[in-house]
Amino acid sequence: MAREKVITSGPGDEQKKHDAALRPKLLKEVIGQRKVAERLEIAVRASKKLNEPLGHILFDGPPGLGKTTFATVLPNELGTSLQMTSGPALAKPADLLPFLTNLEEGSVLFIDEIHRMPRVVEEFIYPAMEDFRIDIVLGEGMSARTISMTLKRFTLIGATTRSGMLSGPMRDRFKMHEHLEFYSVDELATIATVNAAKLNTPITSQASLELARRSRGTPRVANSRLHWTRSFAAAQHDGTITEEVARAALDMAEVDRDGLDKNDRKYLETLIDLYGGGPTGVEALAATINLASDTLSDEIEPYLLREQYITRSPRGRVAMPRAYSALGKLPPVPKPKPDDKQGSLFE
Ligand SMILES: Nc1ncnc2c1ncn2[C@@H]1O[C@H](COP(=O)(O)OP(=O)(O)OP(=O)(O)O)[C@@H](O)[C@H]1O
Ligand SMILES: [Mg+2]
């Protein structure tokens, strides 16, 4: 039986409500990702001036960095409608038909987790992306015939946490590829301040910075830390989020001073204590922690890699000195290996 996918920073039902309430509506409200936003602004302006639909766009990057946000902002900017679906919901070509036939001229079709779309659906969508047409096969065997149907000119927006899993032909059919990066502390602090105002919650600038430092470079994490801190401030204090309140709230949520949460620490502890700091494969780690390996590689590892808690080698994941100090441990003294042809620095 497949192991249940535990989402650490991904959206649950409650989180989805929060996401929707706090999601920027226009490009100018999007904080950070300036280069991406500027390129999109130009593409939108061109599309309006040339009276052509926006070229297909692929967004990739770890969860919670704003892929869905950009996909929902663009139709607002273009003044067109948006339809949303996701790769796993499209089991067969017929599942795409209602979306394709509902298209309006210039409207946006957003396919989330597009890397999980089956190959038959992918092949079905190619002519739709290239020539705004689909080929439908009617009948079977000798009497089968293909009819071609013309579609309204539309924009496909795809989002993926795994652009490497997308086939080459699919990737090539997107005109723009935008990779979303982790956010700086200052950008996350702005997000915390803006969203606290949306939630009618007073927050000090020091508190916003504290939340930002402890949000794994991720707006969705910043939002959920803000929600928790807001509840904590209302229940235990007078409702204002000060730096002290933010610290106490995050300590209580077991988010450490670097922003690592329980799953991050579990990961690092397992890698260090059980596997001697690695190298070890992600499957082995996943089995020991009892999380799906996708959860590890999509949600936990990108931040740990970016912040150099771990590194990837051909033989697996390796703990870096920062991982040891995060857990209050001393890194091992490197020992020369007998088969180490390059010799040791200590010889
Ligand atoms: N650039 C941004 N400025 C302000 N808020 C943002 C930004 N990016 C994301 N957010 C906030 O973070 C939340 C999560 O972002 P979003 O749902 O777009 O992430 P995602 O990349 O689609 O994640 P997933 O891979 O899990 O689908 C949004 O609801 C929004 O409130
Ligand atoms: Mg999303």
Is 240 an active-site residue? no
Task: Please state the rounded mean pLDDT for residues 122-142.
Answer: 91
CATH architecture of 32-179: 3-Layer(aba) Sandwich (3.40)
How many other β-carbons are positioned within 10 Å of the β-carbon of residue 326? 22
**CATH number corresponding to 185-252:** 1.10.8.60
Interval 73-83: pLDDT, tens: 999 999 999 99
- With a cut of 80, say whether residue 10 has pLDDT above it: no
pLDDT of residue 202: 97
CA R_g for the chain:
23
Averaged over 157-182, what is the pLDDT? 94
- Segments of the chain assigned to CATH 3.40.50.300: 32-179
Interface confidence, given as ipTM, is 0.98
Q: One of 8, 67, 214, 216 is an active-site residue; which one?
A: 67
Q: Place 18 in a pLDDT band, splitting at 50, 70 and 90.
A: low
**pLDDT value at position 90?**
96
What is the residue with the minimal CA distance to atom 24 of ligand 1?
63
**pLDDT tier for residue 333 given thresholds of 50, 70 and 90:** confident
80, two tokens: 């067109």
Fold exhibited by the domain 262-326: Arc Repressor Mutant, subunit A (1.10.10)
pLDDT value, residue 114 = 96
Summarize pLDDT for 291-328 with one digit per residue, the tens: 999 999 999 999 999 999 999 999 999 999 999 999 99
Q: What is the mean pLDDT of the chain?
A: 91
Q: Where in the chain is the domain with CATH 1.10.8.60?
A: 185-252
Q: pTM score > 0.95 for this model?
A: no
Looking at residue 161, its pLDDT comes to 94
Could you report the per-residue pLDDT of 201-232, keeping only the tens digit for each?
Answer: 999 999 999 999 999 999 999 999 999 999 99
The residue to mutate among 9, 18, 22, 23, having the most atoms of ligand 1 within 8 angstroms of its beta carbon, is: 23
CA-to-CA dists, residue 306 to 23, 87, 182, 275, 320, angstroms? 25, 27, 9, 21, 12
Per-residue pLDDT at 345 exceeds 70: no
In the chain, pLDDT over 90 holds for what percent of residues? 83
- Would you place residue 270 in the very low, low, confident or very high pLDDT band (cuts 50, 70, 90)? very high
Is 39 tagged catalytic? no
| pLDDT score of 3 more than 70 | no
**Does residue 19 have its Cβ closer than 6 Å to ligand 1?**
yes
pLDDT number for residue 346: 52
Residue 177 CB burial class (10 angstroms; 0-12, 13-18, ≥19): middle
173 CA → ligand 2 middle, Å: 21
Residue 133 has pLDDT above 60, yes or no: yes
Task: Determine the pLDDT at residue 35.
Answer: 96
Span from the CA of 74 to the centroid of ligand 2 (angstroms): 14
Range list for CATH 1.10.10.10 in the chain: 262-326
Q: Give the pLDDT confidence of 237-254 residue by residue, as tens digits.
A: 999 999 999 999 999 999
Residue 221 has what pLDDT? 97
67 is catalytic: yes
Cα distance between residue 109 and residue 89, in whole Å = 14
CA of 71 to the centre of ligand 2 (A): 9
Q: Answer for the pair 83, 110: CB distance below 8 angstroms, yes or no.
A: yes
93, 122 contact by CB (below 8 A): no
What pLDDT shows up at residue 311?
97
State the pLDDT at residue 15: 66
| In the chain, % of residues over pLDDT 70 | 91
